[in-house]
Structure 1
């Protein structure tokens, strides 16, 4: 009997249910069954996600899957990290989850540093210092709401809890909270004490591949659902994307290219040295005890916001085509500047940055897009050099996966800037990684390595080779952004 696997893959702007089966030759098939919009909404000055909407869309997608003839399936859920739901004594959410892009954590890192050294926090957790990390969100959490809470569930764990009644803390996502000790792999009680949060809020941590159990069909009787068993996959979307990256050996790195660009390597032991701290690299947990040593880089969010500000007059491929017709490296921005996190108008913010740094101000859609793509590629080059230096590895192959891997212009710019061969694809790496973990958990694949071989067999990849020397542009970027202070 052929098993059916469903990846519920939810990002900041959209979610999908993707159906997968593996044929007798080991090739993995993918079929998108349901797609829906996601986003946060400002209510009374706070940006909230709508978790009820996400549950409804998952159920609608599963109903479509049943209507297609699937009676039984496995389901895995991955989303973004750090955000959470607080649950009361009755098992109900105290509010919709607050978005990590909400401004409540402005200056939270500085406030935390007065309570507990930021460098010590990094040494304990190995996690990149970002103002939106869960530890800083909890520092700024409403104390009355926190006092009423009996459980804290990260977004994918909350969705799994609503569907199955089983509450867990899946490890790959848990590590993004900046509350887990890198050595003990448990919640660090000293960090919790610094923010005055009770350890009992957190559930037992589980490995990706843990079977939660069946969806409670009786709870959702208005939907005609298949018999679906939920598996806790690598529930942080980057963790799933890395599983879905067909790397081999020790000399490859990845960029998971979506709303964020996550550049890193897969290692066995974390690195929380002062050099890693200064470079702001993170040690997020991966599958089978691995560490995702990576850097968070502001990614396609920049171009997504530019498209939105233009009322989607141009598609992403059209913006890339317009950018390709512009002169390279004329205007650059520091893509990781806090001002680009959630500005009122991304176009205005980019133009103001260029004006303030006495560069040519990009005006046309093509010039603005070119500024973004050039800046991203140069940032990748700078961070790759740091990655090699800190890990002591020589990187000879760069895999770009996720939606951004479809951008040929950025892929070529990255190959040029990094001076390295780039292999782009698969675009659906996150959903594929989600499914691979499900398959390994149910013996569809014996090992993760077998699963990655299956990826190579199943999906076409596109190669890009360095063509242009960009050393001068890299120096300009470094000087502009003061990446090496």
Structure 2
């Protein structure tokens, strides 16, 4: 049987094909790739949803042209963003991007209705101004009143294709609306946000058959016979499934636009220590919890590259960074000012000026600054992770597109003083495919799937090379962060 992973990130999407018989070798084939991004329309940042639908259809046409007449398809995307659908099944405008500034002051406003500590205790979700709960808190109430359904992006795509509406749990858990203990909608949070639970389609576990595509809705497309499966639709959840961890003493960084650092645990943790460190509890596959920290990630370097009109590739930027002196400035990569600045280069430089530090100016200096501070941030959060979970982590898996960055991988191993195993790059697509195969009885457990991954993909080991220079940099970074009282 043939399987297609539709994997859509903030900057691009693709359709990746695998045949179950050849999955033992993981001979994945990219069939279609397309650009994605939000656009400013009259001061608001929107996703082009119709473009996502059309690109997936174009990809499925290519699937059939390759001689694949029948396949399963799973969709994963980023979390928190949603579309509103009315009673006549019309989308009430393009979904707004989580990077839009409408939630800029929402934490303070929300806290007047419910304490942020109580919100965390109830949901276990880290405080990010773009969480769905906060987006809904500031949503246009007239528009919200016209809505019959609220669907997260991958569920909205599934609904368009099949006519079946569900709310997949791994993505739903990012919304900050589910109770951490009951795994159901929290009525107190919904009341503060101003929505009824009836607006959400039924919650469903990853690995459920959603339905066949509605061929009559897309008569212009020559499509194969497609059955959609609701996978772990939050891309990080799929990436964690595709992480070849073994035992319990490992952590992961899903490295892409965001760096998601965490561990898999059986039950959520919503202690004061977890709240103070701003860790999150998101649902995983087969009853697991992804206890993790959102770190700004490759977004920083992506924006630096964009500000230079992509004159340099990411590989070239890393090469230039490797020639620069280490640890020349400290920045808090998670500062909200870096979420969606007008110009990332100027924002980084202004941050350094404000904190009386030498500002990076050349492409190599900018890249060095970003990579150094990402690695330092990883060290702090890995330490927090061990303290909060009580685990002794001996291996760090870096998966996703960022696992290609050998400079940052080795720097992370050195600064965190831990063995780093990099790969697979296609962890999200592999995780998407694995859930499809589990759903169709190819595998029984995550452990079996991960064993096959370990035996099937090339992984690169980075051994730590700790030094006095690194030790001093860590001390300096921690003092800087504590002095600035930054999260």
Q: Above 0.5 in TM-score?
A: yes
Secondary structure, counterpart of 1:270 in structure 2: coil
Residues 3 and 20 in structure 2, CA contact (< 8 A), matched pair in contact too: no
Residues 255 and 403 in structure 2, CA contact (< 8 A), matched pair in contact too: yes
1:188 counterpart (183, 186, 189)? 186
Q: Distance in 1 between matches of 2:351 and 2:471?
A: 23
- Kindly provide the CA deviation profile for residues 131-174 of structure 1, in whole angstroms up to 9, marking residues without a partner as x: 00000000000011000000000000000000000000000000
Deviation at 1:9, TM superposition (A): 0.2
1:31 counterpart (21, 29, 32)? 29
Q: Does 1:391 align with 2:389?
A: yes
Please name the residue that 2:108 is paired with: 110
**CA 1:284–1:25: 2 relative to 1, 3 Å:** closer
Secondary structure, counterpart of 2:91 in structure 1: coil
After superposition, residues 348-367 of structure 1 pair within 5 angstroms as 348-367=346-365
Please name the residue that 1:370 is paired with: 368
Residues 6 and 56 in structure 2, CA contact (< 8 A), matched pair in contact too: yes
After superposition, residues 243-392 of structure 1 pair within 5 angstroms as 243-392=241-390
After superposition, residues 74-473 of structure 1 pair within 5 angstroms as 74-469=72-467, 470-473=470-473
How many residue pairs get aligned? The number is 483
Tell me the TM-score normalized by structure 2.
Answer: 0.98
Please name the residue that 1:481 is paired with: 481
Secondary structure, counterpart of 2:28 in structure 1: strand
1:8 counterpart (6, 9, 20)? 6
Deviation at 1:25, TM superposition (A): 8.1
Residues 29 and 458 in structure 1, CA contact (< 8 A), matched pair in contact too: no
Q: Distance in 2 between matches of 1:60 and 1:369?
A: 36
Residues 251 and 394 in structure 1, CA contact (< 8 A), matched pair in contact too: yes
Residues 22 and 29 in structure 1, CA contact (< 8 A), matched pair in contact too: no
- Kindly provide the CA deviation profile for residues 32-90 of structure 1, in whole angstroms up to 9, marking residues without a partner as x: 00000000001111100011100000000000000000000000000000000000010
Residues 275 and 390 in structure 1, CA contact (< 8 A), matched pair in contact too: yes
Q: Distance in 2 between matches of 1:28 and 1:311?
A: 35
Q: Distance in 2 between matches of 1:354 and 1:457?
A: 45
Residues 28 and 454 in structure 1, CA contact (< 8 A), matched pair in contact too: no
Deviation at 1:331, TM superposition (A): 1.8
Unaligned runs of 5+ in 2: none
Deviation at 1:484, TM superposition (A): 9.1
Q: Distance in 2 between matches of 1:400 and 1:308?
A: 24
Secondary structure, counterpart of 1:132 in structure 2: coil
**CA 1:432–1:171: 2 relative to 1, 3 Å:** same
**CA 1:166–1:335: 2 relative to 1, 3 Å:** same
Q: Distance in 1 between matches of 2:482 and 2:301?
A: 23
Deviation at 1:219, TM superposition (A): 1.0
Residues 103 and 138 in structure 2, CA contact (< 8 A), matched pair in contact too: yes
Deviation at 1:479, TM superposition (A): 1.8
Secondary structure, counterpart of 2:455 in structure 1: helix
Q: Distance in 2 between matches of 1:105 and 1:191?
A: 17
Secondary structure, counterpart of 2:453 in structure 1: helix
With 450-459 and 54-63 compared, the bigger mean Cα shift is at 450-459
- Kindly provide the CA deviation profile for residues 225-245 of structure 1, in whole angstroms up to 9, marking residues without a partner as x: 000100000000000000000
Please name the residue that 1:17 is paired with: 15
Q: Distance in 2 between matches of 1:97 and 1:33?
A: 26
Q: Distance in 2 between matches of 1:201 and 1:73?
A: 31
Residues 89 and 150 in structure 1, CA contact (< 8 A), matched pair in contact too: yes
